[in-house]
Amino acid sequence: MEWLQLLQRFFGDFVRGAGVTLELTAVGLLLGFVLGLLLALAKIYAPRWLSGIATAYIEIFRGTPLLVQLFLIYYGLPSLGITLSQTLSAYLALGLNSAAYQAEYLRGAIQAIGPSQMMAGRSIGLSRWQTIRHVILPQALRLALPSWSNEPISLLKTTAVVFLIAVQDLMAKAKRAATITYNPIGSYLAVAVVYLLMVFALNALLKWLERKTKIPGFDIDVKRV
């Protein structure tokens, strides 16, 4: 099992790379969540023109490969005068991309909770925004959790392509190991194992989060992919 030896030999390197990978995932997820939530709310509650923009954004970012988006930001923007570092470009691309997917998960949940809870909130004098904030979102976010959980895991795997713009993530370290040892298969197998472990850990974390935030008695039957 050569990959095991490689894993041991480049352990420090791989750990650092994994750290960058996790960082990329976290930033992309956070950015994507904030933007995704805004997009979802815009699609549901905003006036026509604004919700149209949100829909267009979602269609575009879900309809094109992340790699193209990444290259567009890192290689394309400079010719328009905006030059971003590799890391910043990666953060941006991952965040903008993830936002489109998260928007759909959140939108589905908000719409499921929406109309009757909105009515109940308004009936005691809460404003629309207050109802969204204190009544709908707390329930919608919990409802979205099982299907939304696919996104952090998907994002973790998606980050692997950013090594193509020389971001020093786990894949970049694998490439380096492959160059040094002339053993590409072993190197990539080794990081494959590391990615797998990270995915398992993330999965366990998400399951724990689901349990922790469960509303007693409110059984939401949603299928986990």
Partner 1 sequence: MDFGRFIQFIASGTAYTLGVTLIALPSGLLIGLVLAFVAVYGGKLIGKFMDVYSTVLRGIPPIVLLFILYFVMSGTVNLSPFWAGSISLGIISSAYQMEIFRGAILSVSGEQMMAARAVGMSKMQAIRYVVLPQMIRLAIPSWSNEAAIVIKDSSLVYAIGVPEILRRAQLISASTQEPFLAYITAALIYFTLVFITNRVLGRVERKLTIPANP
Partner 2 sequence: MSKPILTVKQLTKRYGSNTIFENIDLTVNEGDTIVIIGPSGTGKSTLLRCLNLLTKPDGGQIWLDELEITAKGTDEDHVRQHIGMVFQNFLLFNHLTALENVKLGLVRVKHMPEKEAETKALEELTRVGLADRAGHYPGQLSGGQQQRVGIARALAMDPRVMLFDEPTSALDPELIGEVLEVMRKLALDGMTMVVVTHEMGFAREVADRIVFMEKGSIVEEGSPDDLFYHPKYDRTREFLWKITELYGKKEAQT
**117 is an interface residue for partner 2 by CB under 8 A:** yes
- Among residue numbers 64 through 103, which ones bind partner 1 (CB under 8 A)? 64-69, 71-72, 75-80
Distance CA 174, CA 195 (A): 11
- In the 3-class helix/strand/coil scheme, how is 24-66 assigned residue by residue? HHHHHHHHHHHHHHHHHHHHHHCCHHHHHHHHHHHHHHHHCCH
Say if residues 117 and 75 touch (Cβ distance below 8 Å).
no
Spell out the residues 6+ positions from residue 94 whose beta carbon is closer than 8 angstroms to its own. Answer: 24, 25, 27, 28, 31, 32, 66, 155, 158, 159, 162
User: Which residue type does 17 have?
Assistant: G
**Binding-site partner at residue 135 among partner 1, partner 2, none, CB < 5 to 8 Å by type:** partner 2
- Residue closer to partner 2 by CB (options 63, 217) is 217
Question: What residues numbered 128-147 form the site for partner 2, per CB under 8 A?
Answer: 130, 134-135, 138-139, 142
Cβ atoms of 154 and 131 closer than 8 Å: no
12 binds, among partner 2, partner 1, none (CB under 5 to 8 A by kind): none
Q: How far is the CB of 84 from partner 1 (least distance, A)?
A: 13
Query: Is residue 216 part of the contact set for partner 2 (CB under 8 A)?
Result: yes
Residue 85 has phi, psi (to 5 degrees) of -70, 170
Site string for partner 1, 141-180 (x = CB under 8 A): ---------------xxxxxx--x------x--x------
Which one, 47 or 63, has the nearer CB to partner 1? 63
Q: Which long-range contacts (CB under 8 A, 24 or more apart) does 213-217 make?
A: 213/142, 213/145, 214/142, 215/139, 215/142
Q: What is the CA radius of gyration of the chain?
A: 20
Asked if 185 interacts with partner 2 (CB under 8 A), we say no
- Least distance (Å) from partner 1 to the CB of residue 113? 22
Residue 58 interacts, among partner 1, partner 2, none and using kind-specific CB cut-offs from 5 to 8 Å, with none
- Residue ranges in contact with partner 1 by CB under 8 A: 60, 62-69, 71-72, 75-80, 156-161, 164, 171, 174, 184-185, 188-189, 191-192, 195-196, 199-200, 223, 225
